[in-house]
Structure 1
Amino acid sequence: MRNDMTDEKARASAWFRQLRDQIVTAFEALEDTQLSGPFAGHPAGRFEVTETTRNSEDRSDAGGGLMSVMRGGRVFEKVGVNVSTVYGTLGERAQMAMAARKGLPGMKDDPRFWAAGISLVAHMQNPHTPAVHMNTRMFWTPHGWWFGGGSDLNPCIEYDEDTAAFHAVQKEHCDRHDPDYYPRFKAWADEYFYIPHRGRARGVGGIFYDDLNTGDWARDFAFTQDVGRAFLPAFLGVTEKRRDTPWTEADKDRQLIHRGLYAEYNLVYDRGTKFGLETGHNPDAVLMSLPPMAKWV
């Protein structure tokens, strides 16, 4: 296999864009079919699409993507679906972190990188309908490549049957590739999405994986595609079940407090947020995950 993996990069980047298009279409259709509840009389939500670019003085650093955000819809209070493909050279701080975490001692001598992925976060109007996060990505350097990502559910009002249904879809798609994947990646999500200063998880979990390189690029890419394919059936089923549930002001207050927890995690611990800002990507796109409104007690 060539060191630059040009064809593989192009395939991965195209897939993330295709998945983005499918999700945007499905979410706008969900808005169209919301015909009851307090926001039914509002115009159906639509995504505003903005091209994003990296902010770098080095011309070898380039790339960008699409930031697609819907605000104030019937179902979604705020949802973002971003895709990006970026490349260039990693700064010294990012090189050191990459070398330490990935075991890539050659990063200092050749700090080139390429990364592509999709990132999604949805914050809902109805407090009974859970927030959700999903991302998948491919990362390349001259010293190695890997995939990562996952999907996790973040309800402020938990329903055991919703958690079970969401996890069942994740497990089904993982089992198609390796029966060890779901228990392994579920445990990883439980650890990764834990908030130490609060002593709790930010939601009810899902799956999370990183550094996936079995030595078979096509196999790992196929799995990453299935993680993306699992998202809509896992999330839409729960959303359609809860989107018409009546709620109270106390329910909304509970939702806003939970969003504060979500914001704390993304700003303090999330590696994707840190990497996006450190590599000069559009800060509005990087911080798209933050809720439109939140509250702290």
Structure 2
Amino acid sequence: MITKEQITADYKTIQDEITAALEQLDGSATFEQEIWERDGGGGGRTRVIQNGNIMEKGGVNFSAVHGELPDVMKRALKVEQNDFFATGVSIVMHPNHPLVPIIHMNIRYFEMPSSFGDGQTPVRWFGGGIDLTPHYVIDEDAQFFHQQLKDVCDKFSSNFYPKFKPWADDYFFIKHRNETRGIGGIFYDKLTATDELSWEDIFEFSKALGRTFAPTYVELVNRNRDKQFTDQQKEWQYLRRSRYAEFNLVYDAGTKFGLETNGRIESILMSLPPTAKWLYDPKVEEGGEEERTLSLLKKGVNW
């Protein structure tokens, strides 16, 4: 049976692979690393890249934390045990170019060690997701992105993409704006072994998803990084970043978990953009690309 030590080691390797690929993609900036420890148990490696050729701000974080689960999280997770272990890799990239999309990915594993020997079904699961937030929706890019995710899902189960795609539409939804955060992707949580898929299969899927990130984002960045853009498009980028920040601060489960379990604040809030704008009641030009993008920020689009 796979162990938390093995999962931890492989997630750390994936972090290494992704940061190396992103440094090569940017061509200028490099990641700064900070090793941190969590009060209560565990710690992580925060890696941040800033002010690069294309990466204005981004992070590729690894953590492996353990300890006593706060009551508020026990209620949220509907568990009774006190101890927990959680590890994962979390990524957010904010480019400086309005035609290059924001991207997010998270792969994670959670268990409650005390449940393993009590004769009951052990409490353990995998979760994760990846979604794309273009400032301007480009159909060909959206189709490529979703095909990449479908391909990795289909290697493990034909049911994954049809289930995880609408799950992402529902999860990455800004309720108070009545719009999706971007063009979605896939999202899953509390994924456990079944008759068809073993724990090893699910772990391999988690790693395969993690390793899909770099080639997918490299392609999307290189398609758009040399395009010219206007001041108007740059202002629109700042506005769309504000919607991204709203989601992460109000709805994101990872942000809530980190804050409730006494996580490291700088690492938790790494996902926020470096600069964003909140304009009062902004209007978009009828028939323009901004209006078109807004029309596609909805659930159920079949890319």
Say whether the fold is shared (TM-score over 0.5).
Answer: yes
Deviation at 1:183, TM superposition (A): 1.2
Q: Report how far residue 93 of structure 1 moved.
A: 1.0
Partner in structure 2 of residue 182 of structure 1: 161
Tell me what 2:96 maps to.
125
> In 1, are the aligned partners of 2:22 and 2:214 still within 8 Å (CA)?
no
Give, in whole Å, the separation in 2 of the partners of 1:292 and 1:89. Answer: 33
CA distance in 1, matches of 2:10, 2:147: 24
CA distance in 2, matches of 1:31, 1:93: 41
Aligned to 2:259: 277
Partner of 1:26: 21
Aligned residue number for residue 74 of structure 1: 53
Q: What per-residue deviation string (whole Å, max 9, x for no partner) do you get for residues 120-174 of structure 1?
A: 0000011000000001000001241000001100001110000000111100000
Find the aligned partners of 1:27 and 1:235 in 2 and give their Cα distance.
Answer: 9
Structure 2 counterpart of 1:119, which letter?
A: S
Match of 1:171 among 131, 146, 150: 150
Q: CA deviation at 1:214?
A: 2.1
Q: Distance in 2 between matches of 1:282 and 1:260?
A: 23
TM-aligned CA deviation for residue 72 of structure 1: 0.6
Q: CA deviation at 1:217?
A: 1.2
Amino acid at match of 1:204: I
Pairwise CA distance, 1:260: 0.2
Letter in 2 for 1:116: T
Q: How does 1:197-236 map to 2 (within 5 A)?
A: 197-215=176-194, 216-236=198-218
Q: Secondary structure at the match of 2:3?
A: helix
Matched, 1:46 2:25: no
Picking from 120, 126, 142, the partner of 1:147 is 126
Q: TM-score, normalised by structure 2?
A: 0.87
- Conserved 8 A contact 2:142-2:183: yes
| Structure 2 segments unaligned to the other structure (5+ residues) | 116-121, 280-303
* 1:152-208 per-position Cα deviation (integer Å, ceiling 9, x unaligned): 000011100000001111000000000110111001000000111000001001110
Cα deviation 1:232-270 (Å, max 9, x = unaligned): 122111111001111111111000000000000000000
Query: Match for 2:108: what amino acid?
Result: R
Q: How many equivalent pairs are there?
A: 268
Which residue of 1 is the match for residue 118 of structure 2?
none
Q: Give TM-score, length-normalised by structure 1.
A: 0.88
Query: Offset at 1:97?
Result: 1.0
Deviates more, 1:7-16 or 1:69-78: 7-16
1:260 aligns with 2:242: yes
Answering whether residue 175 of structure 2 is matched by residue 192 of structure 1, we say no
Q: Which AA in structure 1 matches 2:235?
A: D
Letter of the 2:251 partner, please give it: Y
Following the alignment from structure 2 to structure 1, what is the Cα–Cα distance between the partners of residues 218 and 158? 25
Post-superposition CA distance 1:260-293 (Å, at most 9, x none): 0000000000000000011011100011000000
Separation in structure 1 between the aligned mates of residue 211 and residue 162 of structure 2, nearest angstrom: 19
Which amino acid in structure 2 is aligned with residue 92 of structure 1? Answer: D
In structure 2, give the amino acid aligned to 1:48: E
Q: Counterpart amino acid of 2:36? A: T
Contact 1:87 1:115 in 2 (8 A): yes
* Structure 2 counterpart of 1:87: 66
The runs of 5 or more residues in structure 1 that have no matched partner are: 2-6, 33-43
Q: Is the 8 A contact 2:166 2:186 kept in 1?
A: yes
Moved over 4 A (4+): none
- Report Cα offsets for 1:1-32 as digits up to 9, x if no partner: 6xxxxx51011111111111111111111122
Query: Which one of the candidate residues 78, 82, 86 is aligned to 1:111?
Result: 82
